[in-house]
Chain A
Amino acid sequence: MSKTILTVDDSRTMREMLLLALSDAGFSVVQAEDGVHGLEVLETETPDVIVTDINMPRMDGFGFIEGVRRHEKHRAVPILVLTTESDGDKKDRARRAGATGWIVKPFNPVKLVDAIRRVAV
């Protein structure tokens, strides 16, 4: 059975890109538009990996990651954050919030899939 990836990003463009890259690589994809939505989706979906953006309305990536790590059922899901540039500060905050790893935007599909396999296989 193919692995399911939850992508959390407020940018439709980014969501579509992730969807294309991930589904091309054989993953199933579920999407959410921000942290709040992401946590809602987790009530019904059980992703194998979560890929999340940082800067989002309503609830940002940090809050979302903390939320997942506190979640009874999903606390052990690997979470990759999407960061623009190699922003050390953001990576650090994401890591402290409980992120498993990160992907630097603009992401390269090979690296994206690579990073997912690194944390999920």
Chain B
Amino acid sequence: MDPMASIKQTFFQECEEQLVELESGLLKIEDGECDAETVNAVFRAVHSIKGGAGAFGFDQLVEFVHVFETTLDLLRSNKLTATPSLTKTLLRASDVLSDLVRAAREDTVADAHAARTIAAELSALHGDAAAGAHEEEESLESLEFQPVAISLDSIFDLSGDDEPPATQDFIIRFRPGPGLYAKANETVRLLRELAQLGEAIVECDTHDIPLLSELDPEGAYLSWTIRLRTSEPEARVREIFEFVEWDCELDISVADVGKLLEALQEALEPGDAPVCIAAAASPPRIEAEAPVVPAPAAAADDERGHPSPAKPEAQRGDGAAAAQTTIRVDLDRVDRLINLVGELVINQAMLSQRVSEAGLSRASSVAIGLDELEQLTRDIQDSVMAIRAQPVKPVFQRMSRTVREVAAMTGKSVRLVMDGEGTEVDKTVIERLTDPLTHMIRNAVDHGIERPEDRVAAGKPEEGSLRLSATHRSGRIVIEVADDGAGINRARVRQIAIDKGLIPAEANLTDEEIDNLIFLPGFSTASTVSNISGRGVGMDVVKRAIQALGGRMSISSVPGRGSTFSMSLPLTLAVLDGMVVTVGGQTLVVPLTAIIETLQPKKESVHELGNGARVIASRAAFTPLIDVGMVLMYRDEPIDPTSQVALLVESESGAKCALLVDAIQGQRQVVIKSLETNYGHVHGIAAATILGDGRVALILDVDAIVARPRADMIAADAMSMAAE
């Protein structure tokens, strides 16, 4: 890859990290933690973005960041106070900044108006802070800071387009102080550099060198007088002393002779530009009269200082010498490794099976060795999965912006509290979590939390609280969105469901079932489709997205106290704990997470409903029975359910269903192989896997199989009412 493109990529990655830092810092400040370290971290984040943005010539970004940085600098130097309104402005500025970064990355144009508005607000603050109000309204265009785009190609471009040279003689008197050497500057280097400008005659004054007994090795005793004949301007000569001018006595004057000469030349050849004075181009020569007294700390390096053009065979590898606590690895490589480990797991399972088929005793050395291999394989698998694991923090951080935006749009005051941001989960899970989570957060602010006046009337603090948390629980990650709002209005939810024909008017539903109605497709409690929660999708889409990740959603709500949406997700998408079953002679895998319990259907518990539908009675409830063999068309006629096994699974709508399979073979961790990339999409099948004996087994898509008309369930309810 082009090195600059790769650095640009790094820049954008770093921007993302800095934006997270920025936002979390600003949120801390909002919480009143306005200590120096936090402010400094926030400043640094913006500062760092500016550095890279300038180098890549993202002008729009740089202009904005510059204003932003100035504000933060004032905050840092206590010229501004972090009032709530300032913090809000800064948070909005960070949102704009994140948009600008995205625009730069995607090479699109960001909302210039928003940037301008915030920049103007920030600039107005600068005016107040800087006592001299001379720079009243610093408009974006008139910023003095000019970014300079660079290109590494320019390293080769040393051609100057100079004006015709006219030589002058400079007399330079230079007397270094001890500070000059202490800072690792060197007279000899300055002299060499001067010599490169033209012809230099150097005299060294050694009169001040004391007797050896009195000589301070770190002292400075020499002074120089240099007569330099050059076509370069005085500024160029002074530039050489740029780094040392505080630590020396320096006097640069133009020798009269030079001036005279120049005047003479002008008089002789008016307007004729290219007068060439031979000395200008002649090789430089140093005439140092005194042997150089070893300046302190002199690295007596006599390598001649001609800037050689770049050496292409640069050894970039040397750069890695510094100790690093992290390494950056291409995701493809990790995925390849995960794939290989998956193959290893399958192979190991096959080997185990062969060995047990061969009738070797469990105590045989081969079997013991295999046990160890199995343990190792599992460990390797866990370690490899851990490579892909990342903290949920970036996704959580993004939610704070959503909360701010929705709160502003709905006129609510909401505070987001985050917990367990460090909890880790597979990268893919994280990536696919953003959309559903955003939607849930929007919903919670829009529907969950009441307006400030209603909250006060209900005796609650005016500011609503939204809690976003993540924890690891029994091999899964559980993410909860809890609000302290009014809770689900069950009467209203029920009425809407009836109005929309989702449930019959006489349906007798538990609180839990009513709460779960909001997950039904087409359900939306908003009287008008607001542009916040609305967007044409409901909680059903959220739930489906979570389920697609192998996750489950649940809801709990207390009227007047708030609601909690919780989702539990697998830590990885690459392996699955499955129940291996037989259906119609085929081996299938049912995700264990979907299974609640297994039942042995008895004749008296199975009821026909006509039209071929059947239900099974279990725990005083009737559950629809679905014959997997029929759904997958392994057979045309249902067989006697009492010869089968029923797996009680939870369906998409939260109700339970019983899947009929012929037999259970056992439980096993299986490596998921995509069916779609290898074959094509098959209804009712989520993926495939390879079993220990080398056979391919299909993994059931429980939700697709169970996704049946709601009527079935209601019918089951009606039956259960009848039974009571």
B-binding residues in A (CB < 8 A): 2, 4, 10-14, 16-17, 19-21, 23-32, 37, 40-41, 45, 48, 55-57, 69, 75-79, 84-85, 95, 98-102, 105-110, 113-114, 117-119, 121
Give every chain A residue within 8 A of B312 (Cβ-Cβ).
Answer: 24
A20, closest chain B residue (CB): B3
Residue B297 CB within 8 A of the other chain: yes
Residue B619 CB within 8 A of the other chain: no
Known: A23-B316, A121-B301. A109 touches B150 (CB 8 A): yes
* Stretch from B317-325, B639-647, B669-677, B705-713 that touches the partner: B317-325
Residue B131 CB within 8 A of the other chain: no
Write the B583-605 contact mask toward A (1 if CB under 8 angstroms, else 0).
00000000000000000000000
Give every chain B residue within 8 A of A28 (Cβ-Cβ).
Answer: 315, 318-319
Write the B188-204 contact mask toward A (1 if CB under 8 angstroms, else 0).
01001100000000000
Partner of A20, one of B54, B152, B154: B152
A27, closest chain B residue (CB): B314
Chain A CB within 10 Å, residue with most, of B6, B11, B155? B155
Report the bound CA distance from A56 to B48 in whole Å: 10
Partner of A105, one of B3, B14, B51: B51
Q: What distance in Å separates the Cβ of B307 from its nearest Cβ neighbour in chain A? A: 6
Q: List 29 A-B contacts (CB under 8 A).
A: A10-B44, A11-B48, A13-B48, A13-B55, A16-B7, A21-B152, A28-B319, A29-B316, A29-B319, A30-B319, A30-B321, A32-B322, A37-B322, A45-B322, A55-B47, A56-B44, A76-B298, A77-B184, A84-B51, A98-B184, A101-B185, A106-B147, A107-B55, A108-B154, A109-B150, A109-B155, A117-B305, A117-B307, A118-B189
* B182 and A98 contact, CB distance less than 8 A: yes
- How many interface residues does chain B have, given as a range? 35 or more
Write the B29-55 contact mask toward A (1 if CB under 8 angstroms, else 0).
000000000001101100110111011
Give every chain A residue within 8 A of B54 (Cβ-Cβ).
Answer: 84, 105-106
* A26 and B10 contact, CB distance less than 8 A: no
Report the bound CA distance from A102 to B183 in whole Å: 12
Residue B535 CB within 8 A of the other chain: no
B:4-30 near A, CB below 8 Å: 4, 6-7, 10-11, 13-14
Q: What distance in Å separates the Cβ of A66 from its nearest Cβ neighbour in chain B? A: 12
Q: What distance in Å separates the Cβ of B225 from its nearest Cβ neighbour in chain A? A: 21
Known: A99-B183, A118-B189, A119-B184. A30 touches B318 (CB 8 A): yes
Partner of B158, one of A12, A16, A31, A110: A110
Give every chain B residue within 8 A of A121 (Cβ-Cβ).
Answer: 189, 192, 301, 303, 305
B69, closest chain A residue (CB): A84
B13, closest chain A residue (CB): A12
Give every chain B residue within 8 A of A114 (Cβ-Cβ).
Answer: 307
* A100 and B14 contact, CB distance less than 8 A: no
B303, closest chain A residue (CB): A121
Give every chain A residue within 8 A of B51 (Cβ-Cβ).
Answer: 11, 13-14, 84, 105-106
* B7 and A17 contact, CB distance less than 8 A: yes
Known: A100-B184, A101-B242. A14 touches B150 (CB 8 A): no
Known: A24-B310, A69-B182. A10 touches B48 (CB 8 A): yes
Q: What distance in Å separates the Cβ of A1 from its nearest Cβ neighbour in chain B? A: 10
Partner of A113, one of B47, B155, B319: B155
Residue B246 CB within 8 A of the other chain: yes
Residue B311 CB within 8 A of the other chain: yes
Residue B634 CB within 8 A of the other chain: no
Report the bound CA distance from A28 to B183 in whole Å: 22
Q: What distance in Å separates the Cβ of A59 from its nearest Cβ neighbour in chain B? A: 12
Known: A37-B322, A69-B182. A95 touches B246 (CB 8 A): yes
B:631-653 near A, CB below 8 Å: none
* B184 and A106 contact, CB distance less than 8 A: no
Q: What distance in Å separates the Cβ of B235 from its nearest Cβ neighbour in chain A? A: 14
A-binding residues in B (CB < 8 A): 3-4, 6-7, 10-11, 13-14, 40-41, 43-44, 47-48, 50-52, 54-55, 145, 147-150, 152, 154-155, 157-158, 182-186, 189, 192-193, 240, 242-243, 246, 296-299, 301, 303, 305, 307-308, 310-312, 314-316, 318-319, 321-323
Give every chain A residue within 8 A of B43 (Cβ-Cβ).
Answer: 55
* A25 and B7 contact, CB distance less than 8 A: no
* B44 and A55 contact, CB distance less than 8 A: yes
Known: A26-B310, A106-B148. A40 touches B155 (CB 8 A): no
Report the bound CA distance from A117 to B316 in whole Å: 19
Give every chain B residue within 8 A of A99 (Cβ-Cβ).
Answer: 183
Give every chain B residue within 8 A of A55 (Cβ-Cβ).
Answer: 40, 43-44, 47
A4, closest chain B residue (CB): B318
Report the bound CA distance from A16 to B48 in whole Å: 13
Give every chain B residue within 8 A of A14 (Cβ-Cβ).
Answer: 48, 51-52, 55
Give every chain A residue within 8 A of B315 (Cβ-Cβ).
Answer: 2, 23, 28
Partner of A13, one of B7, B186, B307: B7
Give every chain A residue within 8 A of B13 (Cβ-Cβ).
Answer: 12
* A107 and B322 contact, CB distance less than 8 A: no
A82, closest chain B residue (CB): B51
Q: What distance in Å separates the Cβ of B218 from its nearest Cβ neighbour in chain A? A: 10
Q: What distance in Å separates the Cβ of B9 from its nearest Cβ neighbour in chain A? A: 9
Report the bound CA distance from A27 to B314 in whole Å: 7
* A13 and B10 contact, CB distance less than 8 A: yes
Known: A12-B14, A76-B299. A24 touches B314 (CB 8 A): yes
Give every chain A residue within 8 A of B7 (Cβ-Cβ).
Answer: 13, 16-17, 20
B247, closest chain A residue (CB): A95
Report the bound CA distance from A73 to B10 in whole Å: 34
Q: What distance in Å separates the Cβ of B229 from its nearest Cβ neighbour in chain A? A: 21
* A84 and B50 contact, CB distance less than 8 A: yes
* A13 and B52 contact, CB distance less than 8 A: yes
Top 8 closest A-B pairs, CB basis? A76-B297, A101-B243, A23-B314, A26-B311, A106-B54, A121-B305, A28-B318, A13-B52
* A19 and B319 contact, CB distance less than 8 A: yes
Report the bound CA distance from A47 to B193 in whole Å: 22
Q: What distance in Å separates the Cβ of B234 from its nearest Cβ neighbour in chain A? A: 18
- Given A20-B152, A57-B41; 18 other pairs, CB 8 A cutoff: A4-B318, A10-B48, A11-B14, A13-B14, A13-B52, A13-B55, A14-B55, A17-B7, A30-B318, A41-B323, A84-B54, A95-B183, A100-B183, A100-B185, A102-B243, A105-B51, A106-B150, A119-B189
* B246 and A118 contact, CB distance less than 8 A: no
Report the bound CA distance from A14 to B55 in whole Å: 9
Known: A84-B47, A84-B50, A114-B307. A21 touches B155 (CB 8 A): yes
Report the bound CA distance from A29 to B297 in whole Å: 22
Give every chain A residue within 8 A of B311 (Cβ-Cβ).
Answer: 24-26
Give every chain A residue within 8 A of B301 (Cβ-Cβ).
Answer: 121
Report the bound CA distance from A10 to B10 in whole Å: 13
* A26 and B308 contact, CB distance less than 8 A: yes
Partner of B318, one of A29, A56, A85: A29
